[in-house]
Amino acid sequence: MNRSLLLAFLLSTFVQLPLIAQSSDDDAFFIRSIYDEAMTNGDAYNWLDYLTNKIGPRLGGSPESAAAVEYVRQMLDTMGMDTVYLQPCMVPHWERGEPEVGRIVSSSRMGTVDLNVLALGNSVGTGPEGVTAEVVEVQSLEDLAELGRDRLEGKIVFFNRPMDPTQINTFNAYGGAVDQRVYGASRASEFGALAVLVRSVTTRLDDIPHTGVTVYQEGVNPIPALAVSTRDANLLSDLLVTENIRVYLRNTSRMLKPKLSYNVIGEIRGSENPDEIILVGGHLDSWDVGRGAHDDGAGCVHAMDVVNILNKVDYRPKRTLRCVLFINEENGQAGAMAYRDASFANDEYHLAAIESDRGGFTPRGFTFDAHESVFNQKFRKVLEWLPLLEPYGLSLDKGGSGADISRLKPQMGLLVGFAPDTQRYFDFHHASTDTLEAVNPRELQLGAAAMASLVYLLDKYGN
Amino acid sequence: MNRSLLLAFLLSTFVQLPLIAQSSDDDAFFIRSIYDEAMTNGDAYNWLDYLTNKIGPRLGGSPESAAAVEYVRQMLDTMGMDTVYLQPCMVPHWERGEPEVGRIVSSSRMGTVDLNVLALGNSVGTGPEGVTAEVVEVQSLEDLAELGRDRLEGKIVFFNRPMDPTQINTFNAYGGAVDQRVYGASRASEFGALAVLVRSVTTRLDDIPHTGVTVYQEGVNPIPALAVSTRDANLLSDLLVTENIRVYLRNTSRMLKPKLSYNVIGEIRGSENPDEIILVGGHLDSWDVGRGAHDDGAGCVHAMDVVNILNKVDYRPKRTLRCVLFINEENGQAGAMAYRDASFANDEYHLAAIESDRGGFTPRGFTFDAHESVFNQKFRKVLEWLPLLEPYGLSLDKGGSGADISRLKPQMGLLVGFAPDTQRYFDFHHASTDTLEAVNPRELQLGAAAMASLVYLLDKYGN
């Protein structure tokens, strides 16, 4: 929330400028101790090194995801929590198969040109022979109906709308482009297309293709869906202006039978209000390229380090602190649904749930969500803490929380998304470049400190 | 400035919450157009590519610094400015010489160990034979007097105080550690030391040594001064606990005769108030390792892109807009002094001067300085623009401006430092890793947009 809106908000609700009065010296001192601990003895970066370099990518259903489940369980076990357990769920098991091939086979100007392509997650394969077809470039899902079956049947549809570079928050630009990746295959299939090629949803102009989930809607014939690097997308688009390009695509991806996997949960029972749960979480699975460092290894080690840091500064929570590492966020959210189902079945109340799933970059603040009937009251309470968090470069804004926790909204608690700087996230997102080298240790540890500070305030004062 | 202080400040000065009223839609629209231009057609990153990869490092007096002077002159010449000229000054000409050697020669536990070392800027050489001596570790300049000549004479003094990781703003941590690098050699020489080894002033724990200026104070015998990587500093410190280490150091650095070089200046004469100058600048020189991408290629292309962007959105400044690329910031500031001397001799008035010399990272805002008799009035005026800049993640705070412009303070104008996120700056600062790859294109371009927006407001409304 910017300062002018903040002023208007506070004045409109007759809160008499409580910001200064309510920021007690004790809280400032305690938050300082949290930051000191995080920046000198935090373990987030070390854990992330292990997750990314010793274990690797962790697609749901893969052996690596099972290794990750076991690793974080063991790490939580070292923290003296009251209970650490696995919450089972069945997850989709998709395999990429052999390295994909993408090739322009009939450019009179360029001859044969290899393209950097990568099957989208959950995509079917082309079959071992591959697919060769003419290419029709479109800018949006809406373009398909305009072109119609006559122009699309038997073709490869090439979705080429870039992320909008003028959006300051890159997540807004992502939201404005990702429909092509998620729904492009289903929609193009309805018009008889053979396959789709989707411009990588990234802020970079380079040769790295970015994967991510594609969703086959019920009743449509699933067709292969591949991402193409932004530089190759530009090349293809250029050639299409003057030539009737044919492209060859081959991938052997396939969906196997669902597998048993787990959310990993560690809990410290609250000393005074054990029925009020404060959740900190991230998701343990990643795509199968790169190492899932920012997405979402960072979120997992953030959540784990919150418990770790509060432990080390000898803080015993009054409310129940629960660290949840969700499985299968990327291609199904079976973990999130299993967690929700169990939570509602047990009549739980999450006072607050905080998810870190926007990377391990310099913290800029948090975004808050709640059922609309309680949002203003809850957000106003949170804003009273702004003077305590602002010295650490944090702002507090209305906004989304996280894919794994948003299903808890009917419990009427506060849902919080950790909001780091967004400029670099989509450089690495779902790509081979999402490795530990893309994570700065200080930026990562500051995230753990920011989350631990908010948890401390939520635990001490409620919401 | 945090929000609670902002409130207090505004209320104390009887400004009746003017923030909302004064943010005109026109200004918001125009600043949006500046950002759109910067993020779609900005040239900062392309220029930085040329400066860093085609020209390379640009130490004052080097052939590369001359090439950089010519390159940016030519670029400014393409922007339709009223005048582009070179401002001569004599700069120190220091050469690193042959690759340095640092070696632990007498560890009973480890045998001979090579150390990653790099001569500090302006350092004298050891002579071709090198220096071998016992090592005395100290944590501060103050430790020297305590140890005294008896313990230091004939020794290598090893300054090993790290940057404080708990400082959120890394420039504060730098300020708390850099005295060892700047004054260590002079002080240790007074106690008869043969050479100094200084822990690299960086936030990273790695094998990369970081250079930077060392200053020989008048009257002391100059002794060789070398930086050692943080990991090797830790190793050396560990060994010193149990062993009487001897270290061999060799460097052939030397100071040559001063050379003629230039500040590069481009100017658009103001259409209404030509005598009120708004300066945007960075420094063109860099250290001789790495490519000077963040320090301070980024600042140069920021300043140039301010002119470029305002041009492209058809903004004609009412006041004189001057782009100044300073030479020799790193080891003497001869360029800054030449500029100041000429400016005072010509009775100029800089309404505002903005320097970018903290890297090309995501903008967090600006820091403002001015003569204390006028600061409050000037800063209050600037704060009225906060609602226009806050949507872009910018805050406005009291703080330093820049080494090249701070000498203009007696003109009673506003001095401004561009303030990007600080977390990664000292990872790369003065090291071989300060290359284009360390710069994110979006983060860089956002900096140019932020500076252009502030220049627009200063030009339109004065200060």
Q: What is the DSSP string of B273-294?
A: EEEEEEEEEEE----SSS--II
Q: Say whether B165 and A423 touch across the interface (CB within 8 A).
A: no
Mean pLDDT confidence for A60-69: 97
Tell whether the model's pLDDT for residue B4 goes beyond 80.
no
Active-site annotation holds for A329: yes
What's the rounded Cα separation, in Å, for the pair B170 and B18?
Answer: 33
Q: Which residues of A touch B (CB under 8 A)?
A: 2-4, 6-8, 17, 19-20, 23, 35-36, 39-40, 165-166, 168, 170, 203-204, 362, 364, 386-387, 390-393, 421, 423-424, 427, 440-443, 446
Contacts of B99 (CB under 8 A, 6+ apart): none
How far apart are the C-alpha atoms of B42 and B253, rounded to whole Å?
40
The alpha carbon of residue A15 and the mean position of all alpha carbons in its chain are separated, in whole angstroms, by 36
Task: Tell whether the model's pLDDT for residue B8 goes beyond 90.
Answer: no
Angle at B346 between CA B341 and CA B348, to 5 degrees: 95
- Alpha helix ranges (H) inside B103-200: 142-152, 170-175, 179-190
- Confirm if B211 and B227 have CB atoms less than 8 A apart: yes
Distance from CA of A362 to the nearest CA of B (A): 7
HSE-CB of A268 using CA atoms within 13 angstroms = 27
Can you give the pLDDT at residue A288?
Answer: 98
What is the ipTM score, two decimals? Answer: 0.94
pLDDT of residue B300 exceeding 70: yes
Show residues of chain B in contact with A7, CB under 8 Å.
7, 17, 19-20
Question: At which residue do the structure tokens 């400014």 appear?
Answer: B76
Of B364, B390, B421, the CB nearest to A2: B390
Rounded Cα gap, residues B361 and A442, in angstroms: 15
Higher pLDDT, residue A421 or A109: A421
Q: Quick check: A418 pLDDT over 50?
A: yes
Is the four-CA dihedral B140, B143, B145, B147 of positive or negative sign? negative
**Which pLDDT band, with edges at 50, 70 and 90, does A244 fall under?**
confident
pLDDT at B452 over 50: yes
B7 interaction partners in chain A (CB closer than 8 Å): 7, 17, 19-20
Q: Which amino acid is at B319?
A: R
| Mean pLDDT, residues B360-365 | 98
Is the omega angle on the peptide bond into residue B296 within 30 degrees of 0, that is, cis? yes
A425 in Cβ contact with A294 (< 8 Å): yes
Cβ-contact B355, B116 below 8 angstroms: no
> Residue A313 half-sphere exposure, CB side, CA atoms within 13 Å?
25
Instruction: Say whether A97-252 and A3-94+257-461 share the same fold.
Output: no
Which residues are registered as beta bridge partners of B199?
A: B228
Q: What is the mean pLDDT of residues B167-183?
A: 98
> Per-residue pLDDT averaged across A251-277, rounded?
98
For residue B315, report the phi and psi dihedrals to the nearest 5 degrees: -95, 120
Domain-wise residue ranges, chain A: 3-94+257-461, 97-252
Question: Per DSSP, which regions of A65-160 are E strands?
Answer: 83-95, 101-107, 111-115, 117-119, 131-138, 156-159
Q: Is the pLDDT of residue B141 over 50?
A: yes
Please tell me the predicted confidence (pLDDT) of residue B108: 87
pLDDT value for B106:
84
Q: Give the percent of chain B with pLDDT over 90.
A: 93
Q: Report how far apart, in Å, the C-alpha atoms of B134 and of each of A71, B116, B155, B158, B195 are.
A: 46, 18, 5, 10, 11
Query: Mean of the pLDDT values across residues A81-110?
Result: 95
pLDDT (0 to 100) of residue B147:
98
Tell me: pLDDT of A173 over 60.
yes
How large a percentage of chain A has pLDDT more than 70? Answer: 95
CB within 8 Å of A25: residues ≥ 6 apart: none
Q: What token pair was written down for A60?
A: 């749901």
**Span between the terminal Cα atoms of chain B, in Å:** 19
Confidence check: pLDDT of A124 > 80: yes
pLDDT, residue B107, reads: 80
Asked whether the predicted pLDDT for residue B16 surpasses 50, the reply is: no
Judge contact between A208 and A118, C-beta under 8 A: no
| pLDDT score of A16 | 41
Q: Which amino acid is at A244?
A: N
Classified as helix, coil or strand, B186 is: helix
State yes or no: pLDDT of B11 exceeds 90. no
Mean pLDDT of B362-374: 98
CA-based nearest distance B318→chain A, Å: 27
User: Is residue A13 over pLDDT 50?
Assistant: no
What is the pLDDT at residue B22?
Answer: 46
**pLDDT tens, B219-254?**
999 999 999 999 999 999 999 999 989 999 999 999
Residues in B lying within 8 Å of A, measured between beta carbons: 2-4, 6-8, 17, 19-20, 23, 35-36, 39-40, 165-166, 168, 170, 203-204, 362, 364, 386-387, 390-393, 421, 423-424, 427, 440-443, 446
Distance CA A3, CA B40 (A): 28
Lowest-confidence region among A388-402, B22-36, B262-276, B305-319: B22-36
Can you tell me the distance from the alpha carbon of B461 to that of B352, in angstroms, rounded to the nearest whole number?
A: 12
pLDDT at B15: 41
pLDDT at B3: 52
- Name the CATH architecture for the domain at B97-252: 3-Layer(bba) Sandwich (3.50)
Q: How far apart are CA A411 and CA B150, in angstroms?
A: 72
Q: How confident is the model at residue A2 (pLDDT cuts 50, 70, 90)?
A: low
Measure the CA–CA gap between A225 and A158, rounded to whole angstroms. 10
pLDDT for the residue numbered B10: 45
Measured distance CA(B182)–CA(B198) in Å, rounded: 10
Which homologous superfamily does the CATH classification assign to the domain defined by B3-94+257-461? Answer: Zn peptidases (3.40.630.10)
